[in-house]
Amino acid sequence: MSVQQIRKICRLALIVTVIAGLASTGTVQAQGGYDPSPPTETVKLIFIHHSTGENWLTDGYGNLGSALQENNYFVSDTNYGWGPNGVGDTTDIPDWLRWFSSDETPEVMDAVYAESRENSDDYQYFDRFIADPGGENEVILFKSCFPNSDLSGNPDDQPGDYEDYTVAGAKYVYNQILSYFAARPDKLFIAITAPPLSDGTHAANARAFNNWLLHDWLVDYDGNNVKVFDFYNVLTGEDHHHQLVNGEIKHTYAVGHDTLVYPSDDDHPSAAGSQKATEEFVPLLNAWYNGWKAGAPTTPPQSEGAEPDTSDDTNESQSAAPLAGGMIADFEDSNAWEAMFDAIAETSIGCEVVSGEPYSGANALQIDFNMALDGWGACYKEYHQPQDFSAGEGINLYVRSLQTGVHFAMLLYTGNGENAQIYGAAYDTTQAAVDGWEMVQFQWSDFLLDWQEGSPPPDPSLVYQIAIAFDGYEGANNGTLWIDDIGLLGAAPVEEAAPPAEEEQPAAEDESAQPEGQGSAGGVCPFSIAMPVMVILGAVWTRRKLM
């Protein structure tokens, strides 16, 4: 394998995020499965907030109040001075215990459900143009203000034992209030992350905490009535998004960009930032509401370009989950593979389980990719628990393509904490993939660390995420690829994966007939050991300059 190949794949794997259960954007979202249609009947909604929320609702500023009404929501809200014992004054993160987990909770929440005023002090933020349908509020939005992004501690701190303004204390609060939400499946609760600060002192902590909310907080939650909107992320970059695209939830950002880019005279988000959030939030709200009413199972959103904290469920002492028979993905169900790509115009990727002409079974994974110059994208799968792939000698998969020379990489994220590593192996399709299904085999030694020949092989006993990646670093790159039966090389399921019409095992194929160079590997660039689990691709220019 050439140095050029190694460096090409190195450029693919330059942003890292979750691998705790492909998840997610994160996960996880169903490919194209979210319905953004407004409710067919008027739904009562209440927003618990302070000044940033007020601006967001206001006509001519964030326009959220009008946008919600246009989507058939009757909107009420709380603000300073509202509610029993002035509970409306308290919306910091530690205060959510008062609302949702205290002796006051029954009285407070009864008032929340019954509220039908426009706001707490009769100051009109937005014109109401739909009638009150009666009954209780069904949808409850709650949000802390920007000072709550000043969390001390460390990005990877685990939940603590009490509430405070630290990463650990904030995680504690949100874990505690889940009990109340679980007891009220008749209500849809949407946690809205606190907006960012301009000061970057604790920006990394804010990013890590909000990614934890998005990717890890609801992993073990059995209900489908709690969602998270990453208001924080939307306001940290013009190309940062949490939105619905063609029925899929996308969460994208550039690593290291964690402060407010839409300021007003202070850290209140500007009208432009607030309007951007409105455009991204309302379709998501519709999709979440429709899924909740339909009884769809809850899956936290998947990320693209995110760095979720996964310390709670991926600590180093956690044992790997056994891999059933050695089959990693046969695509007979969705297998939770998700798409991610950068924000460069014309760059896109789609990952869809399709029927038609699979290698075996009924389905295969179809990847339609269009990489603009300098673009990147991937289809990835992550796990809520680490997977033990050590029963195999490597990874075996089958690929079909419309053309030869399609360059892709398989990426592995292994280990955790100080032992976290990202490995990559590269391959170019041959005529065999155009004529039919081409078998590709990667030995563990083919996966390179730090794009260095001779690097130690990965530890396959703790695998958190795998990805099929593409780039456009040497020019626009587009096409369609089909992947099927990703399994452990040498394990029984791989040998038993032959098409039903043929009683031969894939392992019985004449390996000498495989194209020369099959299984050649590329490399993945070095990453900070502090980066979290989940490979998300991206172009980090500073790293490119070092190559």
* Amino acid letter for position 211: N
- pLDDT attached to residue 372: 83
Is residue 339 within 8 A of residue 365, CB to CB? The reply is: no
Q: Where are the alpha helices (DSSP H) in 129-202?
A: 167-183
In whole angstroms, what is the distance from residue 148 CA to residue 143 CA? 10
> Cα–Cα–Cα angle for 237, 238, 244, nearest 5°?
100
Burial tier of 313 (Cβ tally within 10 Å: 0-12, 13-18, 19+) = middle
Closest CA to 228 of 188, 273, 173: 188
In whole angstroms, what is the distance from residue 25 CA to residue 465 CA? 13
Q: Where are the domains of the chain?
A: 33-293, 321-504+524-545
Is residue 359 within 8 A of residue 398, CB to CB? The reply is: yes
> Cα–Cα–Cα angle for 254, 229, 471, nearest 5°?
30
DSSP type of residue 194: P
Is residue 399 within 8 A of residue 438, CB to CB? The reply is: yes
pLDDT digits (tens, 9 = 90+) for 443-475: 998 888 755 667 788 888 888 888 898 887 777
Class of domain 321-504+524-545 (CATH, top level): mainly beta
Which residues in the chain land under pLDDT 50?
1-31, 120-121, 296-299, 304-318, 493-547
Is residue 310 within 8 A of residue 530, CB to CB? The reply is: no
DSSP type of residue 159: P
CATH number for domain 33-293, candidates 2.60.120, 3.30.420, 3.40.50, 1.10.287: 3.40.50
pLDDT digits (tens, 9 = 90+) for 73-127: 999 999 888 999 999 999 999 999 999 999 999 999 999 999 997 654 455 678 8
> Cα–Cα–Cα angle for 322, 326, 330, nearest 5°?
115
Is residue 215 within 8 A of residue 306, CB to CB? The reply is: yes
Closest CA to 21 of 245, 350, 310: 310
Using left for φ > 0, alpha for ψ between -120 and 50, and beta otherwise, residue 429 falls in beta
In whole angstroms, what is the distance from residue 185 CA to residue 225 CA? 6
pTM beyond 0.85 = no
Give 327's Cβ-side CA count (13 Å radius): 19
- pLDDT attached to residue 423: 84
Three-state DSSP at 409 gives strand
In whole angstroms, what is the distance from residue 421 CA to residue 464 CA? 10
Tokens read off for 413: 């994220």
* Amino acid letter for position 267: D
Asked if the domains 33-293 and 321-504+524-545 are classified in one and the same CATH topology, the answer is no
Partnered with residue 141 across adjacent β-strands are 47, 190
> Cα–Cα–Cα angle for 313, 315, 319, nearest 5°?
85
DSSP type of residue 274: H
